[in-house]
Amino acid sequence: MMQIKDQMGMIPVPGGRVWYRSVAADRDGTPLLVLHGGPGAPHDYLENLSDLADERPVIFYDQLGCGRSERPDDSSLWNLPRFVSELAAVRSALRLERLYLLGQSWGALLAISYLLEHGTCGVAGLILSGPLLSSPAWMRDQRMLLEQMPDDVQDVISLAERENIFDTPAYQAAMDTYYRRHLCRLDPWPDCLQRTFEQLGLQVYLTMWGPSEFTCTGNLAQVDLMPRLGGLDLPVLITCGRHDEATPATCEAYRELIPSARLVMLEDASHEHHLEQPGRYLAAVRRFFASYDQKYPVTGGTETMAVFEGAPAAEQQ
């Protein structure tokens, strides 16, 4: 019997090297490549997705600038096109001819941007969890959610945005109140989520997004993939929580635009619904896999091989 093992290493990408871990790397089954959120929020908070490795390899990587990956002090690297190129380099280095993609939050925007540029060949399906696919829609949702917060929280946030000062204790406290309602409703927060915040790539987050989930001042502010979602030709599962920053109404709008999408909304959960309702979340993902694994077997056709010619090899540790 083949021994099931993990692999870890570093992968050369544009601008530096990124750390990856492949859980159950030798297991049969179409691999799942996980794209974390942020930008700049390393994969730790998604580590319970490794439970899916009982039936396939599950691969995590920390995007450049955060977590265990290199952190170059170069703000010109922090933009969507470079992260798309990074994802292409990771896929090539790991020789993922056939795979599923899972993007959480910003990772969903990254996944679809990659597919729109590189095509869907070899991608068996796409899972979008609490997806950011349109920054204008995201910000409209955050404004709507903020209107439901206590008046004192709204006043602090309004003052910070007017004065462009976000490092005050009052703003941080208001942000914490918001996050505990719409980011993660568990009390206390799980250790894996705490570790993600401790390893946050702050330069990446501030450059691309801004000082908080509800204040966008970065270079993603105008990104909107909604007009292009109708061109996605692959199976898609969208998940969200009832209290998600990615609101159920907006996720339903995404579902209506994507021809082969289905939507699962989890009650009593928010943006980190994979942590708040892990059993229900993982069951939904497993049902999605079961629908398409037989149609898309592990062995890819020759049409996928050109993607990987001359790819830099992963440096295993």
Q: Is the dihedral of CA 304, 308, 313, 314 positive or negative?
A: negative
Judged against a pLDDT cut of 60, whether residue 263 lies above it is answered with yes
What angle separates helix 106-118 from helix 80-93, to the nearest 10 degrees?
A: 70
pLDDT recorded at residue 302 = 24
pLDDT range class, residue 2, cuts 50, 70, 90: very low
Between CA 61 and CA 69 the distance in angstroms is 8
pLDDT recorded at residue 292 = 87
Q: Is the distance from CB of 92 to CB of 311 less than 8 angstroms?
A: yes
Is residue 168 a part of any domain in this protein?
no
DSSP 8-state symbol, 47: G
Report, as an integer, the average pLDDT of 249-258. 98
Is residue 1 a part of any domain in this protein?
no
pLDDT recorded at residue 296 = 53
Report, as an integer, the average pLDDT of 281-299. 81
Is residue 150 a part of any domain in this protein?
no
Give the residue carrying structure tokens 């933009």.
Answer: 79
Q: Is the dihedral of CA 293, 294, 295, 299 positive or negative?
A: positive
The residue among 138, 87, 147 whose CA lies nearest residue 116 is 87
- Does the global pTM surpass 0.85? yes
What's the CATH number where 199 sits? 3.40.50.1820
pLDDT recorded at residue 298 = 44
pLDDT recorded at residue 309 = 30
Question: How does DSSP assign 92-111, residue by residue?
Answer: HHTT-SSEEEEEETHHHHHH
pLDDT recorded at residue 109 = 98
Judged against a pLDDT cut of 50, whether residue 235 lies above it is answered with yes
Total count of domains within the chain: 1
Report, as an integer, the average pLDDT of 143-164. 97
pLDDT recorded at residue 310 = 35
Judged against a pLDDT cut of 90, whether residue 232 lies above it is answered with yes
pLDDT digits (tens, 9 = 90+) for 71-123: 999 999 999 999 999 999 999 999 999 999 999 999 999 999 999 999 999 99
Q: Which residue has the higher pLDDT, 292 or 75?
A: 75
Q: What element of type H or E holds 169? A: helix 169-182
Give the residue carrying structure tokens 């709204």.
Answer: 154
- Cis geometry, peptide bond prior to residue 39 (ω within 30 degrees of 0): yes
Report, as an integer, the average pLDDT of 242-263. 97
Q: Which two tokens stand for residue 59?
A: 């691969």
Is residue 147 a part of any domain in this protein?
no
pLDDT recorded at residue 67 = 98
pLDDT recorded at residue 317 = 52
Is residue 235 a part of any domain in this protein?
yes
Judged against a pLDDT cut of 90, whether residue 213 lies above it is answered with yes
Is residue 145 a part of any domain in this protein?
no
Report, as an integer, the average pLDDT of 156-176. 96
Mean pLDDT, the chain, integer? 92
pLDDT recorded at residue 77 = 98
Q: Which residue has the higher pLDDT, 303 or 97?
A: 97
Is residue 156 a part of any domain in this protein?
no
pLDDT digits (tens, 9 = 90+) for 48-58: 999 999 999 99
Q: Which two tokens stand for residue 20?
A: 């990856």
Question: Which residue type does 70 have?
Answer: E
Residues forming the active site: 105, 244, 271
Secondary structure E strands in the chain: 7-13, 16-23, 32-35, 58-61, 99-104, 123-129, 236-241, 261-266, 315-316
Range of the domain at 197: 7-137+192-316
Is residue 285 a part of any domain in this protein?
yes
The residue among 112, 117, 15, 13 whose CA lies nearest residue 61 is 13
3-class SS of residue 317: coil
